[in-house]
Structure 1
Amino acid sequence: MMKKPAHLLLEDDVFGLELANLVVSSGFLSQSWDSILELYRELNPSEQIRFGVYQKPNCTVIAFVTSQTLTKHHLQEEDELVSSSFLPLFHFLCTKSNPTFSIHKAAVTIFSSLRDQLTNLKNQISNSIPLIVTGHSVGGSVASLFTLWLLESMNRVDAKRVLCITFGAPLIGDEGLQQAISRNSKWNSCFLHVVANQDFVPRLFVSLSPHNTNAMQIDSGSVAYQPFGTYLLCSQSGCTCIEDPEEVSKLLVAVGSETAGNQNPNMEFEIFNYTETVKHVEYTVIFQGISKLGELKVQPLRAGIILKLDAVGVKRTQQPLTENMERREQFRALKQNVFDPNKKLNKMKVYMAYLEWYKKTSMPEKEGYYDSYKRKRFKKDMDVIRYKGELNKYWKKVVEEAERMPQKENATLNITWLYGGTNYRRMVEPLDIADYYSKGLKNYKADGRSEHYKKLEEWLEVDTPTSKPDNRKKLNVSNSLTEDSCFWEHVEEALTLCKSLRNGEGDGELTRRNLVTFEVYVMEQIKNYAVSPDIFLKGSSFMRWWREYESIIGNLYISELTDLMKTGKYDKYADGSLDF
């Protein structure tokens, strides 16, 4: 994983998936949760709330936790909102266009009880940048309030280097608070709320749908609560980032209805542990898989929405929710300025979602998306040409602009964009390779590879450790992208070598040595679970190479790859059960 100097990590405003990738890739997510666990261990039985300051290698973490007794009392018995007229500490959030707002009484009460201590802390950490403020459950509510209090006194540059990461926190304010924060993009991008679908606490104060009979019922006054910031919604199926407040509310309600059947309303109040969720997110956010889309025909925008619903475990049969999200995405696209780079990025995400769907639906054709696109027999293959062209145009521009920026400690491309570029390269470059070799050309890497691919790969490889197999990669290999975006170039060149050997062209001994080199390369990728299982589909170019190579080497030649292929062991690769 690429490492960046800590002071560079938060230099730009970040949005949605970019924020999640930033938090995970920099280690902020795991460091935050580790600090929370350490703080829980330090919490005395007589204490109701505790905070701690932890120095990490690349940041300072301030964590907040509350006792289970205090959490139970405030969440089950108090959902009252307090008007801003009674909140002098937060008057700075009021504006002419947004003169009033309300905050959860319990959160304000707890925060106010720590005011003197937090004032001293605020003065002590003025130079601690980057700064992560984190909290769990009600502790997350206090963390959000403390972050707002910090942001008010910080200049524009320092404010962009503060992140608030909450785990399972309930909503803390009404629409007025939401508007006060959301209208300041610098502040809104400082908040990432991690929510597991099995945790009912974040759904306690969500506006209730009149049709949602499974949602937890609370007093009518709580319907005013609204979310702000970015939400990272997680389930065993995956995770997705949502920034739109109405979408967040609707998905929290939908997730609640999906999991309500698995929860006993009379069970003892328990605080959800996010340890396994954090481990899962660390894998899922960076190494994004392909969601299980079963539709044979789907528009790009609809594909993106289905990916979101699949990731948080919401059934696609909830048609009204899907349609509502689609309408909101279309309306938001119309409102955004045409020159807004984030609008363009969102559009690129839609195109990537379509290509994910294309890859998934090519599998039943027994040839994979590389060969399906190379043959271009169907209308969906033609559609990919346009999406690929738009993606290439966009990322070439991103790389071009990055190279024009002053060079600063090798930080040519901000990490918030780097992982998006990596997924793009791994998904799209194989399609460019397919176009190149379908024209009868050779030596793609030397003669045909675009410079922007080289730069994206070069920037990712800075300080990147050697890829190693692990259980998470094995278990998720069926949904993975091939890590080496030039894998199919190696396959095409190996096919050419087989043809030359068969026809008696060139130096036969050198050709054989090159084929053995390709063998070693392929086995290394397979052992590291670094290739997508679609290479083993019957109609793939890789399997075509294997059949030709097998006829050349005969039965006497033995190697790791020949053993894998001739015995059919490769069939176990897709489910992660292949051991080496």
Structure 2
Amino acid sequence: MDSRTEVEGSMFETSHVLGALLASSPLLTQAWTSCLRANAGSASFVVDRSDDAVFVAFSGAQAAASPCAASSGLGGGFFEPVPLYSGAHELFAPLGRGEEDDGGKPQPVLLQAGALRSFMSLYRTSEFQLLISETQNKSVVLTGHSVGGCVASLLGLYFLCSSSVQPNAPTPASLLCITFGSPLIGNETLSRAILRERWGGMFCNVVAQHDIMPRLLFCPLNSMPNQFTTIIHNLMQSWCVSMRSPQCSRSKLHLPDDQKAELCQYISMHIREASAAEQKHHMGPYRPFGNYAFCSTEGAVCISDPVTVLKMLHLAFITGDASSSIEEQHVSYGDLISMISENRQFKKRLDFEEYETKSNYSMGVSLALEASGIGVQEMGAMEAREWLELSMCQRPKLNSASLAIKLAKVTPCRAQIEWYKALCDDDMGYYDCFKLRKTPKRDGKVNMNRIRLGVFWDKLLSMLQDNKLPHDFLKRDKWVNAAQFYKLLVEPLDIAEYYRCQLHKTRGHYLSHGRERRYEVFDKWWNEDKESSKKAADRKRSKFAGLTQDSCFWAKVEEARECLKNACGEKNPTKLVELWHYINGFESYVNGLIERKEVSIDVLAPRSSYSLWVNELKEMKLKQAHNLPSSSVLVGVTGGM
């Protein structure tokens, strides 16, 4: 199989085939049946047991009927995005680390207020403990209709977070969360955290073509015109009544056509704006996560890429007449699932001639487009096809493979720096050799290799920031370890260049004013890779490390040398105490590194900056020992020098 055939195969199977598989399986029917029971009952959830799995369904009727959710002030109550507060933060700890924006500022996880309150209320009940007991070590399907899907999603996240923090926690053996017409529950940071943890595949959000509820929270609820809040209020009340009925099939409310058309146009406009902002990395209040199963009478198509999900939420909605079914679609998932399942074997898909003229790739896109309910002649069909192609071609994976090849090509640059380091270790160490440029020709080659490696890693970070790499990229030890090795090897050279050019005199010291952001990002990667960082922490060395484990070690040496120099001429006792406090702290820190053998042998080279600092410190302590009594303030600070 050549590479093109392999790519086409993956394109074909990622959307339409997965959607068809889901539609033909009993999962959706079983999950929806459990949702009907939950909506019709008086409890917040029901548990259904089958031979293969335990289904836990959460009621959407109770939450939809709450005053907060159904009030006219939609944005100020149930659907308001709020950060994780103290108790919730502990339950969802792996998600609470947050992400950084382009400026490196941490962005908090925001969750839908009503859903979070509902979950926390459930968490504090005895029924929740019984639920934990019912689901422990079993195959579990969590499900919910409407706002009940939000609580189901949060319970799924709770289980995943618990097993991540405590491997022996009482959690299901396997987990799948299926929601029907669920509103969005979190922001961009939550979506990225779920992708980072590789949990997206455990969530499947079933969305009908013209259901407004999964699209509602793209609108600015706090500033929504009064006529629309009134319509939505009435719709939610009507849906609640329909959910509580055993059939749960039809809304009892019939709105005037002009009102429905205006509301659909308003929602469509804001979905379009949200998807446009997403391409510019604007972090709005809500963003989808997990897999989305877009369903129409023509079939189902599964999409996992968040950007494509946003686009399809808009394009599927504007296809056909959304206003004609706005009252019914949200409570008609049972009819839709039955229709898809019944029609799948008998419906004629595409003309036979098209099968003969199209490749697997093109056929996969056409079938996915049809399953989403978007006809080839419909408005937005061309754009939808382009986004499906982009989503189905798995471009991020191809970019990742391309980066792996480029990493191999820059490996000789890294190897030459390692060779250079080995040559310098016994004299003054490669930090000082590079800083002083003892061998200009050789040092020039090392400098070019340093620059090439920096360009490669900056490009990688740019691609990651632009969502051009798989979202689980940082779960791959290969890249985390490669970034850590690069940082430990090359950052000392960056520090040397910084001080060689005297930049510390104009900008300030390296640690606070000169460190490249890439190294801060790599620090975060390494610290978040629990397995790698734990292995490094538990390792007991019998000989010195190949690379000093603190990549900023030489910047700290430079600051310590300046402190020692300043201490020689400082007359102010208060400032002198501060200087010696820093010097003694650094001395203790380095002694710990040396004792644990976490420094490279070049640190102890006879003419290294560190060895020179140690000698200067000894000389100064000897001088202070013979100083006049007026210097007694220093004796206490330096431990009786």
- TM-score calculated relative to the size of structure 2: 0.43
Q: Which of structures 1 and 2 has the bigger CA Rg? A: 2
Which of the two has greater helix per residue?
Answer: 2
TM norm structure 1: 0.47
